[in-house]
Structure 1
């Protein structure tokens, strides 16, 4: 449970074969839970940004949910609490500067990752978003 609470692993599926053909399931067996390591590398995060451009609403919602979770986790690490900046980050990526979108996606993907130096990059980008908000 500590790994789940620390966001080190995720529950990704459930194996119904643990019930060996039983039709009426009364309770969940822990043996059927399938976990995966939480990956936070820039490439995976970049893919989430790209999925937000999909025409499939379910994929978009899933990508937004995962990105929001990564954003909140990074905000907590940085000791910040203004979660409204998530929407400003998405605006920055998709609405403000379309010609530099790839570069912006790479910067935010790196900042949201677990790579060395990513927390400092994240703090710099948050400061940038706050300054842009203040200038408007």
Structure 2
């Protein structure tokens, strides 16, 4: 794990910072996304360089009870493969446990299978999905 990274729980993160982070790895950012999503989050964890630059983020949504959901895990491409994403998810896992959640869920694309199952410790389960928008 890099020494120059600090991890922050529920620290202020701006919509603009998350827009830039999402764009940095080829995502499809939307202005105002974080401002809309934040009130529905149980928690979030952010990773910052010494100068405060945001280099990683994970959102922890929940149902208000037993189930929490890892969403929007992001690490800048020039900081990937350094353990930052794994640390973000581990800290989100701890936050869900401390909040009294019984289950932590994650959905992911196939190319992220090794990250979530091997590095982060999730186990595969059967699940279903209905796409609500055309591809």
Give the TM-score taking structure 2 as reference length: 0.30
- Structure number with the higher strand fraction is 2
